[in-house]
């Protein structure tokens, strides 16, 4: 997976490559899909959500330029695989998942794998997690019609924020950096993520698993 999908497609961050070469990705997908978990595709993880393909996870993580000292905010825990990647490469991860059964399953697995530098919350992550901020890096792993303003506000000086923005079917992976001169923006390419649903994302549809923000 690392050679064919990541090195081959220009992922250069040695930390990202090293961690992805040893994380047991098959544990993060349903058992019946374990044999497909290292392939070049997203996979269903239940509740109409997906684990992103390895390349997308590598691109987003590489964009954050983690050195091991950062406080990181992640929106969309999903399977927990990206959370593990962030936890390996930073000091502390604050992760939010709006669908409690998914977030709880990821939490149980990550605790079993021994991660102690992760805090979990099950609610609408488009508000961010203000009292724990600001963050050196923020990643949202679901597509938002606009850049969620609350997340930009929680970005520390020199902090990096990455996530998919745009209408469904025409998303761009966008990266923002907060500098002394203001916010700078870079587009990293086309992408296709499940929708970010919440106050500052797509409107909620009111299903049984809807979690009210704090």
Three-state DSSP at 122 gives coil
For 104, 122, 143, 200, 210, the CA distances from 203, given in Å and listed in that order, are: 23, 17, 12, 8, 12
Question: How many whole angstroms separate alpha carbon 113 and alpha carbon 109?
Answer: 6
How many helices (H) does the chain have, and how many strands (E)?
A: 5, 9
> Which of 37, 52, 79, 90 does the annotation list as catalytic?
52
Active site residue 21: no
| Contacts to ligand SAH by CB under 6 A | 49-52, 57, 75-76, 78-79, 81-82, 96-99, 102, 124-126, 141-142, 194, 196-198, 201
Q: Is the dihedral of CA 154, 189, 142, 200 positive or negative?
A: positive
Catalytic residues: 52
């Amino acid at each position: 997976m690392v050679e064919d999908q990541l090195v081959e497609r220009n992922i250069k961050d040695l930390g990202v490559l090293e961690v992805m070469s040893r994380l047991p990705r098959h544990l993060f997908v349903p058992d019946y899909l374990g044999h497909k978990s290292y392939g070049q595709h997203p996979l269903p993880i239940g509740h109409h959500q997906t684990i992103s393909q390895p390349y997308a996870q590598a691109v987003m993580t590489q964009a954050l330029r983690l050195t091991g000292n950062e406080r990181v905010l992640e929106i969309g825990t999903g399977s927990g695989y990206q959370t593990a990647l962030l936890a390996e490469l930073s000091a502390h991860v604050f992760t939010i998942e709006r669908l409690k059964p998914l977030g709880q399953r990821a939490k149980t697995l990550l605790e079993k794998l021994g991660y102690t530098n992760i805090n979990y919350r099950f609610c609408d992550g488009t508000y961010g997690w203000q009292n724990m901020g600001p963050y050196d890096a923020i990643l949202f792993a679901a597509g938002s019609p606009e850049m969620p303003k609350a997340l930009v506000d929680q970005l520390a000086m020199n902090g990096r924020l990455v996530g998919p923005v745009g209408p469904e079917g025409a998303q761009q992976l966008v990266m923002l950096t907060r500098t002394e001169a203001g916010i700078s923006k870079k587009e990293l390419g086309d992408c296709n993520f499940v929708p970010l649903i919440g106050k500052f994302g797509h409107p909620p549809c009111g299903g049984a698993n809807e979690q009210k923000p704090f």
